[in-house]
Amino acid sequence: MKKTITLALLVLGLGQLGISQDRYFTRDGHVEFFSYTPMEDIEAVNEKMTVVIDFETGEFETSVLIKSFEFEKALMEEHFNENYMESNEFPKATFKGQIEDFAGVKNSNFPPGVEMAAHGKMTIHGVTKDVILPVTVMPNGETYTARSAFVVNPEDYKIEIPNAVRDNIAKEIKVTIQAELAPLKK
Amino acid sequence: MRIFISNLLIVLGIFTFSACGHTDTADEKPAFEMTSDEIVNEFLDDEVASNQKFNDQVIAITGPVFELNKENGKVIGVKLSSDEFSIVSCTFQDPLEPDAIGEGRITVKGVCSGFQGDKDSMLPGGVVELKRAALVK
């Protein structure tokens, strides 16, 4: 009886504090992209990706500021923002969608590392496309590690590459994401 | 002909300046000096106008330390906030020693990248991001 009351008080207490275990998030997600051509390798990193997953519904959101991508060379960063991504006009890249068959992830018998499909809309450079992203979500103590790797074709998002540097930039840009997701306290 | 010259200039630009790194933010004079609450509120009030006003500018922000971001034993970033959902998130140009930042209010200057926040998002609040940041005091 004492245990039941303690448990009830604990649940009520958590409710009062508004603590929800449904959504997990980070504002420090790692995203990098890589362009390989025989002329040049180009890579950039952004450690400030926002990632949120609702563990009840499988809703999945990511958002990143284009200007927060850091390049080793200042001029590459300037060209990326001003000439290609036009980041003053289109400051963010986002994905909003739903991870299929997500309900079992929190179960202890869920096989780790299983690749799931996130169906949704990706917006880059002001252009929104329906895409399917591969996603893995693995428990890591109190947090979950989410990973995804996919390819973006600049042409699909109306990112124009000048003829003079067309051979320096890959037609398919490899993007990888890794995020440690902690419970969201509302 | 004009296109050819323009393309030639782009190529020359790339080869001439491709080795150049970033300027050192620690040596830059800030265009604005404000608190973490003030800049987040400006972005929440009018994101478009604030993007035009602050993006790419060096800004000095004073605020309470909310969280340190560490990697390999060094501090690579700091979040300034008095509210866990309205944050200025700074990424340091050069990682700091773990004891370089104490508790309480500090001042950091960095290049503003913009604002992350969306009323339709599952994540409430918003974050102003500063890159290539340097600790002022």
What pLDDT score does A39 carry?
87
β-bridge pairing A173-185 and B32-35: unpaired
How far is Cα A30 from Cα A32, in angstroms, rounded to an integer?
7
Strand B86-96 and strand B126-135: the pairing is parallel
Per-residue pLDDT band for A107 (boundaries 50, 70, 90) equals: confident
Contact assignment for B116 to A76 by CB distance below 8 Å: no
Tokens 């944050």 appear where?
B87
Grade residue B1 by pLDDT with cuts at 50, 70 and 90. Answer: low
Q: What is the pLDDT of residues A118-127, one digit of tens each?
A: 999 999 999 9
Q: What is the pLDDT of residues A68-91, one digit of tens each?
A: 999 988 988 999 999 999 999 999
Tokens encoding B62: 């004073």
For the cut 60, the answer to whether the pLDDT of residue B11 exceeds it is no
Helix (H) or strand (E) holding B88, with range, is: strand B86-96
DSSP string across A14-39: HHHHTEEEEEEEEEEEEEEEEEE-SS
> CB atoms < 10 A from the CB of B22, how many?
16
Q: Is a pLDDT exceeding 90 seen at residue B64?
A: yes
Per-residue DSSP letter, B30: P
**Cβ contacts (< 8 Å) between A28 and chain B: which residues?**
69, 77, 89
Give, in order, the Cα–Cα distances in Å from B72 to each of A179, B67, B130: 17, 16, 21
Contact residues on chain B for A63, CB-CB shorter than 8 A: 116, 118, 121
Torsion of CA B14, A152, A126, B42, to 10 degrees: -80
User: What was the pLDDT predicted at B26?
Assistant: 87
Phi-psi region of A141 (alpha: psi -120 to 50; beta: other; left: phi over 0): left
Amino acid A6 reads: T
User: Could you give the CA distance from residue A40 to residue A24 in angstroms, rounded to a whole number?
Assistant: 38
In this predicted structure, the answer to whether residue A94 has a pLDDT above a threshold of 90 is yes
Mean predicted lDDT score pLDDT of chain A: 87
Mean pLDDT, range A94-102, rounded to an integer: 94
Interval A44-72: pLDDT, tens: 999 999 999 999 999 999 999 999 999 98
Both tokens of B114, joined, read: 């913009």
Q: Is the dihedral of CA A32, B117, B45, B25 positive or negative?
A: negative
Residue B2: pLDDT band (50, 70, 90) is low
Residue A5: its pLDDT value, please? 45
Predicted local confidence at residue B5, as pLDDT: 56
Which of B116, B127, B128 is most worth mutating to test chain A (most A CB atoms within 10 A of its CB)?
B116
Query: What would the pLDDT profile of A9-24 be if each residue is shown by its tens digit?
Result: 444 444 444 444 589 9
Is B17 a residue whose pLDDT tops 90?
Answer: no
Residues 16-35 of A with CB under 8 A from B: 23, 25, 27-28
A:B CB pairs within 8 Å: 98
pLDDT score at A14: 41
> Quick check: B14 and A184 CB within 8 A?
no
> How confident is the model at residue A13, as a pLDDT?
43
User: What confidence score (pLDDT) does residue A19 get?
Assistant: 42
Mean pLDDT over all residues of chain B?
87
The structure tokens 């699909």 sit at A156
CA distance A75 to B23: 11
Cα separation, A28 vs A24, whole angstroms = 13
Q: Kindly state the average pLDDT of the residues A97-125.
A: 88
Over residues B15-40, mean pLDDT: 83
